[in-house]
Each structure stands twice: as C-alpha cells, then as structure tokens.
C-alpha cells in the first residue's frame, strides 16, 4: 500500500494534497506520512517476530535515527516500542527529548568522545558498539572513572562486499568501520580482562541501500563462527546486532523481501540463544517522505532546459554527493508539453541539482515533489549559501502537523560575533 500517491491529477500524502501542504506551509517543504513510517516499522517487527517464532529468542529494532532524527519521528517510534541506534551525544539527547527508552539505545560510531561516552553511561544505554581496540581502552577508563560497568559489543568488519555505492559501503576491510574478524577475537579477550567492561554482544553493519540477502548471509556466517569460537573460550554473548542497510525502491530496484531476509538470518543463527538487534534507518522512513519545491524559473537554450526550483543541494544533497537518483514528479499533472529538464536549485555550484534529464511538462510557478525524501534528506541539509533549512510536516490522515518550523534567517547568524572595533 502506498501512502503517497496520486488521486486524480493531484499528488497526496495520505489524505492531504501536496498542493494544500505547499500552500499552508510554503516551499521547500518536507512532508512525511505517519502511517507509512509506522507500517514500515511494524513490518520489520512482524518479519523478525515471525522468523523467530514462538521460541525464547527475542528481537529489538533500534531505528538508526541518523536517517531522520526529527523528534516527532523518534517519539512516534518510541511509542511503538522502538529502540534507537545513535552515533553522537546529540542523537542521545534527541532520544531523551523524543521520549525514547535509554535501555533500548545502542551507540555506534568510530569516534565517540569521552564526554559522549560519559553521557551515555549516565543515561544507562543498552550497549556501546565498539569500533577499535583504542576505543576499548578509552571506554574502560571512562566507565571505571564513573564506577560502572559498560555493556559492550564489538563491531566486526566482516570484509564482505555489500554491492552498493562505495560511499555507503561499510563492511569492507578498506572501510574505517569496525574491527577485522581476526582482531575482534583479541578485542573480546581484552574486554574480558577489564573490570569496567562487559561484552554482551557482537554487531556489524555492512552498508546501506542493500538489495540482496547474500552479503548479509556472508557477514552473518563470519560473525557466527567468531561467536562460536568465543563461546569455547568462555565468552558468552547475549545478542547479535545485524545493523541496518535494507534498501528501498527509488527507481526500479528490486528490494529485499523482509520476511525472506529475516528467515535467512534466523536460519543461519539456528539454535544459538542470541537476541537479535537490527538498526534499520532508510527502510523505515525513506519512502515515507517527499520534498515539495516550486519552479521559480524555466531556462531554455539550444541544447539544454533547466527548471530552477526553490529547493537545492543544501536541502537534499544525495544527488550531488552520491549521484543518487530520486524521482521528481509534478504535484499536479498538467497537459503542458514535456521537455527534458535538469532540475536545479539556486545554489552557486554546478553540482546543485536534484535530478538530471527528467521528462517534465512545466510552467513557472508549478510545484514538484522529489520522492523518497524521508531518509538522509532533511538531516543532511545545511545552510550553504545562507539558506535557511526547510520546514517539516507530518501528515496523519487528514491532519497535518508542523514538526519543524522553517528556519529563520536571523537564527543563521545569531551565534556569530563581530570583532571588537
Ligand atoms: N547502523 C549503522 C552503524 C550505520 O552506520 C547505518 C547507516 C545504519 C545502521 C542505517 O543504515 P540504513 O538502514 O539507513 O541503510 N547518507 C547515505 C546513507 C549513509 C548510511 C550511514 N550509515 C545516503 O543518503 O544514502
């Protein structure tokens, strides 16, 4: 079921037309469907629940909030019982402000600072996903200074090719993430020697926008071999965190069937008594959002047509950064003659495009919707060219809620200071 679809000529997010949303809140505007986000989370939950069956094993979804960390979304997911995968002190505080349960928070990332570690220890998070042997030492010190035992998992870099864009591949030996299988064994022994650390899990995350189960399977097999080896040495883990990475359909990708994926994972795990944690981000929010933008100018030359819109690379950097393709559709179907357009923003960079070579029938003033803009969109936006960041709105049936006000220009430089005269 699609929560963002056309009804007659008009594009709708649930029960409200995009035209209405743009009129009420202005553009550029991110609009999300609550039902879509909740359905995606629930289908993940159901797939894992079904694959694990009625046995004693449990699972926990820790939404990777880097994909979209708006407090309203955190709060919606917390109400469903979600946990959260965080990567900074800022994200920790967002979980708190959004009403999330700290006991369901896992903390990933290669560069956790001492103060972030202290903050997370004080908050009582579920687990630190450790990414290097140097981090083992630092966390042991910080936990000892706090007089607590830190629960840890080692992020294993299984050296598998996730077959995705190189910038979002994370499980190859060359990537900065995690610890190789060989070194991980030593890291667990080192953790076992520290009174202020307790190894409770093992994790991995091999990349993002994955559309095939096989890299997950290869990664898991490598992790399980290591788990078994550790068990023989008396190191018994409680959970296995499989990371996120499940791809969504931007164009014509065949995405993973979550039930098949969950079944494949639980088949590999077999009778081992391990709780399963997952960290999906994109697959929960990606297709639940659109970026609405208005065409300000049409520019035609002999061999090129440009539609200059009011959203730019500062609002959505994925096309510029990864050459990512996101569909761009008119908010209202029109009979205007179509042409091949590059849809570009007002920022002074040639990389400032939302889409290239799009067949569209446009008139100045028209509204366009960039689809699949729920993940890695607003959260990666910036103030480049002193552009205030867009507003965000959550649609719930026929109600819309402003969940982030449009940024005011004054706030962009409110914390800046002039030099003394
Ligand atoms: N867990 C860890 C440790 C991660 O680093 C990530 C994403 C996730 C979970 C969630 O992965 P997902 O389910 O969303 O694929 N900005 C890029 C994507 C970067 C992903 C970074 N890590 C993009 O726009 O495609």
Choice from 154, 177, 249, 279 to test ligand 1 binding pocket (greatest atom count within 8 A of CB): 279
Mean pLDDT estimate for the chain = 96
Q: pLDDT at residue 16 above 90?
A: yes
The confidence score (pLDDT) of residue 54 equals 66
Domains, the chain: 4-33+286-412 (2.40.37.10), 35-284 (3.20.20.10)
Residue count of the chain, please give it: 421
Least confident of 47-56, 276-285, 309-318, 349-358: 47-56
Element (H, E) at 48: helix 34-52
Tokens read off for 293 = 């933008």
Q: Look at residue 367 and give its three-state secondary structure.
A: strand
Tokens linked to 327: 């569909």
Paired with 61 in beta bridges are: 278
Q: Is residue 348 flagged as an active site residue? A: yes
Q: Which of 197, 186, 188 is nearest to 149 (CA)?
A: 197
282 lines ligand 1 (CB under 6 A): yes
pLDDT at 53: 87
Does residue 376 line the site of ligand 1, with CB under 6 A? yes
Give the pLDDT band (50/70/90) at residue 2.
Answer: confident
Residue in the structure block whose two tokens are 């919606």: 76
- The percent of residues above 70 in pLDDT, for the chain, comes to 97
Q: Is the pLDDT of residue 374 over 90?
A: yes
Pairwise CA distance, residues 415 & 267, whole Å: 54
Check residue 161 and give its pLDDT: 79
Ligand 1 centroid to residue 211 C-alpha, Å? 14
DSSP per-residue letters across 302-348: SS-EEEEES--TTT--HHHHH-----EEESB---SPPEEEEEE-SSS
Residue 142: is its pLDDT beyond 90? Answer: yes
Question: Over 70: is that where the pLDDT of 132 sits?
Answer: yes
Cα first-last separation, the chain: 62
239-266, pLDDT tens digit by residue?
999 999 999 999 999 999 999 999 999 9
Dist. CA 67 → ligand 1 center (Å): 7
Q: Is the separation of the CB atoms in 315 and 390 below 8 Å?
A: yes
Decide whether any atom of ligand 1 lies within 6 Å of the 281 Cβ: yes
Q: Please, which residues bridge with residue 155 across strands? A: 203
């Amino acid at each position: 079921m699609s929560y963002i679809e056309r009804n007659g000529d008009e594009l709708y997010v649930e029960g409200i037309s995009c035209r209405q949303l743009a009129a009420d809140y202005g553009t550029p505007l991110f609009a999300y469907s609550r039902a879509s986000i909740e359905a995606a989370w629930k289908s993940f939950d159901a797939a894992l629940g079904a694959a694990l069956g009625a046995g004693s094993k449990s699972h926990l979804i820790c939404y990777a909030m880097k994909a979209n960390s708006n407090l309203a979304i955190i709060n919606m997911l917390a109400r469903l019982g979600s946990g959260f995968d965080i990567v900074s002190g800022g994200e920790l505080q967002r979980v708190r402000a959004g009403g999330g349960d700290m006991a369901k928070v896992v903390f990933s990332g290669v560069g956790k600072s001492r103060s972030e570690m202290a903050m997370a220890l004080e908050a009582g998070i579920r687990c630190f996903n450790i990414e290097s042997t140097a981090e083992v030492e630092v966390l042991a010190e910080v936990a000892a200074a706090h007089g607590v035992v830190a629960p840890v998992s080692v992020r294993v870099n299984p050296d598998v090719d996730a077959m995705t864009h190189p910038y979002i591949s994370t499980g190859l030996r060359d990537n900065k993430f995690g610890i190789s299988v060989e070194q991980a064994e030593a890291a667990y022994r080192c953790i076992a020697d520290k009174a202020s650390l307790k190894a409770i899990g093992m994790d991995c995350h091999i990349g993002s926008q994955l559309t095939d189960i096989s890299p997950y399977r290869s990664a898991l097999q490598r992790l399980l071999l290591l788990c078994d080896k550790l068990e023989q040495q008396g190191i018994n883990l409680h959970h296995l965190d499989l990371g996120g990475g499940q791809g969504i359909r931007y164009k014509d990708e065949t995405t993973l069937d979550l039930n098949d994926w969950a079944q494949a994972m639980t088949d590999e795990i077999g009778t081992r008594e391990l709780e399963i944690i997952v960290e999906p981000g994109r697959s929960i929010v990606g297709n639940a959002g659109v970026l609405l933008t208005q065409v300000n100018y049409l520019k035609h030359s002999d061999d090129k047509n440009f539609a200059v819109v009011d959203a730019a690379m500062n609002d959505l950097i994925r096309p510029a950064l990864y050459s990512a393709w996101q569909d761009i559709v008119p908010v209202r179907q029109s009979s205007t003659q179509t042409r091949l357009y590059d849809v570009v923003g007002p920022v002074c960079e040639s990389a400032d495009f939302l889409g290239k070579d799009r067949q569209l029938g446009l008139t100045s003033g028209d509204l366009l919707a960039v689809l699949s803009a729920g993940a890695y969109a607003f959260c990666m936006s910036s103030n480049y060219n002193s552009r205030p960041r867009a507003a965000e709105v959550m649609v719930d049936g026929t109600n819309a809620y402003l969940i982030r006000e449009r940024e005011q220009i004054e706030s962009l430089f409110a914390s800046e200071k002039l030099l003394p005269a």
